[in-house]
Amino acid sequence: GENVEQHPSTLSVQEGDSAVIKCTYSDSASNYFPWYKQELGKRPQLIIDIRSNVGEKKDQRIAVTLNKTAKHFSLHITETQPEDSAVYFCAALDDKIIFGKGTRLHILP
Amino acid sequence: GAVVSQHPSRVICKSGTSVKIECRSLDFQATTMFWYRQFPKQSLMLMATSNEGSKATYEQGVEKDKFLINHASLTLSTLTVTSAHPEDSSFYICSASTSGSSYNEQFFGPGTRLTVL
């Protein structure tokens, strides 16, 4: 079955700097890669997703890149702000969605 | 986006009792609903997938007789934790999808925090 690895587990960046979170997956049949943001005690919220026929997608300060050959995808957040502090989960989907273990992002003032 | 509600948001029960959690899609018909469990500071672990009108598909290691799932309509799925024990204490989250697989976006409920004393 699918296995999703996510790094780093914790990330601290200065406000205004960029943050990058990386994920790898094992099942080459996976074709949909969403990213979720979860604030403490709340539900995961989809922030961006990418499908296997696209290499990059951008939405304002958030971008995701996908390398199908290497089976890895990354989340990029630019000009980070305090409200970006949260746990971020990557996921990969073939017939079911498998989540990475999460990255706790701290934005330092 | 589509709205998924979950009830109750928080429940505290004694060991040995059963707890029912409801998951509703409020403004769309959910062909498929998913149930996840999330322990503190950990990722979401898929417990089971339920399709309306059919038996749920449980992930390996999840006891189907302990975690009863019913998906009686296109807008409601229920998870019943039977004979709950302290180790069942967790954050339970449902999600709903409009298609037969989770290829399309999943919409998450707000979660239910279960504490078993």
Instruction: Give the tens place of pLDDT for each residue, A33-92.
Output: 999 999 888 888 999 999 888 899 999 999 999 999 999 999 999 999 999 999 999 999
Distance from CA of A80 to the nearest CA of B (A): 22
Higher-confidence residue of A28 and B20: namely B20
Confidence of residue B1 (pLDDT cuts 50, 70, 90): low
Mean pLDDT of B24-53: 88
Report, as an integer, the average pLDDT of B110-115.
94
- Across A67-102, b (16+ Cβ under 10 Å) vs e yields ebeeebbbbbbeebeeebbbbbbbbbbbebbbbbbb
E strands present in B1-117: 4-7, 10-13, 19-25, 32-38, 44-51, 57-58, 67-73, 76-81, 90-97, 107-108, 112-116
Q: Best interface-test mutation with A: which of B43, B46, B50, B114 has the largest number of A CBs within 10 A?
A: B43
Q: Which of B77, B67, B69, B70 is nearest to B25 (CA)?
A: B77
pLDDT of A2 over the 90 cut: no
Interchain proximity A44–B44, CB inside 8 Å: yes
Q: Residues B57-72: pLDDT tens digits?
A: 999 999 999 999 998 8
